[in-house]
Each structure stands twice: as C-alpha cells, then as structure tokens.
C-alpha cells in the first residue's frame, strides 16, 4: 500500500477514510446489569418479572444504540459482526454464562436499532468476553461493543488510496 500525506488527499477520500475509522471503532452500549437476568437469577425469579426486566433492558439498549448510530451516520447494518463484552466488576466477577445471559437483551436492542443484522451465529462470527476489576460499586457496568468482523476490517484496510478515491469500499476478491 502506498504511503500518502493525508493533507494531500482530496476531501472526498478523507471523508471515506474517516468512515473506515468509524467502522473499525464499533458501536458500544454500556449497561448496569441486573442479577435477575443471569442464568442463576432466572431460576429464582418469576417469569413475568424476567419478561419485564428483559423488556426494560432491551428498550434501554435500543435507545443507547440509536444515539450511538447518530454519532456514526455512515454506519451500515453489519451482516458479519464481532461482539466484545467487557464486565467491569468491583467484588466478584460474573461467570461467563451468567454474563452472556445478562447482556442478551442489550444485544437484542442493538439488533433492533440496526447495529447488526441478527445475533445468530450466521451473523455473529466472534464473541469475546473479558473482566476488568474496578475500585467502587459505582463503576460497575458491562460494555457491549459491536464491530465489523475482522475479515471485513482486514478487507477494508487492504484498500489502496486510489481505491478509496474511486469510492471503493471493499478490496476485490
């Protein structure tokens, strides 16, 4: 790939490079999870309560995802995505199956907002989870980030400046 001074690139190409950077950043929704949505919490909670809590978290994620999409006007609904879930815990980290259950409504809200096409294995090619210790309970949260699957990012990064100047968004196969 040729190296070019970004100041020498025409404004349309700069705009496309900005779009590429936004696409590789992803869309993030941050939530404070509810213990009733974990695998073990669902065993102890009445189904009607679980349904109400699920609807609440899905609606909150939908609103947050819509706001994030407003900041990324070039975002296109992803057909292949990577989901990265980071749990910021203060005391004991949540086990991975409980973490996955607790963020399911958040991911559903992101699907409804148009961040990704679906949350099925056909669309979600990579699912990563991590834990980070924080000092206080007030800092506890879970961040769900959806990005284009790395194959799409590599494909985009392999574009030359000439490709971008001609409006090309994918490298030829």
Where exactly are the structural domains of the chain? 32-165
d(CA 21, CA 24): 5
Question: Given strand 81-89, what is the order of strands in its sheet?
Answer: 27-31, 141-148, 81-89, 124-133
pLDDT recorded at residue 25: 74
Residue 157 pLDDT more than 60? Answer: no
CATH for the stretch 32-165: 3.30.1330
pLDDT recorded at residue 20: 47
**1 to 142, 162, 172: CA distances (angstroms):** 38, 10, 15
Over the stretch 18-48, which tens digit does the pLDDT of each residue have?
A: 544 444 578 999 999 888 999 899 999 999 9
Three-state SS at 170: coil
pTM of the model: 0.73
pLDDT recorded at residue 172: 47
Over the stretch 84-141, which tens digit does the pLDDT of each residue have?
A: 999 999 999 999 999 999 999 999 999 999 999 999 999 999 999 999 999 999 999 9
Residue 49 pLDDT more than 50? Answer: yes
Give 116's contacts (C-beta < 8 A, 6+ positions apart): 77, 78, 81, 110, 123, 124, 146
């Amino acid at each position: 790939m040729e190296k070019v001074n970004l100041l020498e690139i025409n404004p349309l190409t700069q705009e496309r490079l900005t779009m590429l950077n936004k696409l590789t950043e992803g869309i993030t929704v941050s939530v404070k999870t509810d213990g009733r949505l974990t695998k073990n919490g669902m065993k102890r909670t009445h189904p009607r309560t679980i349904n109400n809590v699920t609807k609440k978290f899905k609606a909150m994620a939908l609103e947050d995802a819509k706001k994030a999409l407003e900041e990324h006007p070039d975002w296109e609904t992803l057909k292949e995505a990577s989901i990265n879930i980071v749990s910021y815990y203060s005391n004991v980290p949540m086990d991975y199956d409980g973490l996955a259950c607790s963020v399911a409504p958040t991911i559903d809200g992101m699907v409804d907002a148009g961040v990704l096409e679906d949350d099925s294995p056909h669309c979600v090619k990579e699912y990563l989870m991590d834990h980070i210790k924080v000092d206080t309970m007030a800092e506890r949260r879970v961040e769900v980030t959806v990005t284009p699957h790395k194959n799409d990012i590599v494909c985009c990064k392999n574009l030359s400046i000439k490709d971008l100047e001609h409006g090309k968004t994918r490298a030829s196969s």
